[in-house]
Amino acid sequence: MTTWQAEPLPLFQTPEWARLVGVFDLETTGIDVETDRIVSAHVGVLDADGNIVDARDWLADPGIEIPAGAAAIHGISTERARAEGAPAPRVVAEVVEALGALFAAGIPVVAYNAPFDFSLLKNEAVRHGVAPIHAPSPVIDPLVVDKTYDRYRRGKRTLSVVAEHYAVSLDAAHEACADAVAAGRVALALAEKFGPWMPPTLDELHTRQIAWARAQAASLTEYFVKIGRLDATAPPLDGAWPIR
């Protein structure tokens, strides 16, 4: 990744963190953050207008079979991953390094449903002997932010639905680059719409999201119990953020 320097925004364009954002997304063998593996990854940087400033993509050989259901979603078969993908340990190490560089530069990393990507990456790092990112920060999770500032909007909150709501193009959903860039542009749209009500600093926004995610998990747990989807004696949904 290269070194970036953001140009100051005019005073009316707030919050300040929207000058430059990192973006991060994984496509994987499944949805279990402890046992599933990385298939593809994207780490990039967007400017205040959502233009791509820097980008890097990875295709990994996860070392296991990619289930047909997962391949149907992201389009990467076991055969392709084995033929074209880099060894998983190298991919994991390079993704961790790229994210670490953004965090070290104070650039926030946007990840939609951040606990999934960061938790799976952490577990992959441990699996392959790479020093993991235990406490990624600063992170911006458009899913958490959108639920906070537009709490009562009806409908799903998948990335494709939320991107459409904020007029963000997502032409290749479930492709790591497309999803990462769309999530970053949704974050910028949220900043433009709700900036005056957001915490004034990036550190405070990160900290607030920890509480918001916990409250959202508690509310969803209560709803699932009410409709019978979750037993009242079952453990509540995990609201840890941005990593579990």
Within a domain: 132: yes
Its pTM stands at: 0.93
In whole angstroms, how far apart are CA 177 and each of 7, 15, 40, 94, 148?
24, 25, 9, 16, 26
Work out the pLDDT band at 136, boundaries 50, 70, 90.
Answer: very high
Biggest CA-to-CA distance, the chain: 53
Work out the pLDDT band at 10, boundaries 50, 70, 90.
Answer: very low
Within a domain: 237: no
pLDDT digits (tens, 9 = 90+) for 184-226: 999 999 999 999 999 989 999 999 999 999 999 999 999 999 9
pLDDT above 60 for 5 = no
Is the alpha carbon torsion for 14, 241, 54, 41 positive or negative?
Answer: negative
Within a domain: 219: yes
- The residue whose two tokens read 């989807």 is 229
Within a domain: 2: no
> Which pLDDT value is given to residue 3?
55
- We report the CATH number of the domain holding residue 132 as 3.30.420.10
pLDDT digits (tens, 9 = 90+) for 89-108: 999 999 999 999 999 999 99
> Per-residue pLDDT averaged across 43-59, rounded?
97
Work out the pLDDT band at 11, boundaries 50, 70, 90.
Answer: very low
> Per-residue pLDDT averaged across 41-60, rounded?
97
Work out the pLDDT band at 134, boundaries 50, 70, 90.
Answer: very high
% of the chain exceeding 70 in pLDDT: 94
> Which pLDDT value is given to residue 28?
98
> Which pLDDT value is given to residue 174?
83
**Full domain range(s) for residue 98:** 16-227
- The residue whose two tokens read 């820097």 is 54
pLDDT above 50 for 124 = yes
Within a domain: 173: yes
At residue 109's C-alpha, the angle toward residues 108 and 114, to 5°, is 130
> Which pLDDT value is given to residue 172?
81
212 Cα distance to chain centroid = 16
Work out the pLDDT band at 24, boundaries 50, 70, 90.
Answer: very high
% of the chain exceeding 90 in pLDDT: 91
Number of domains in the chain: 1
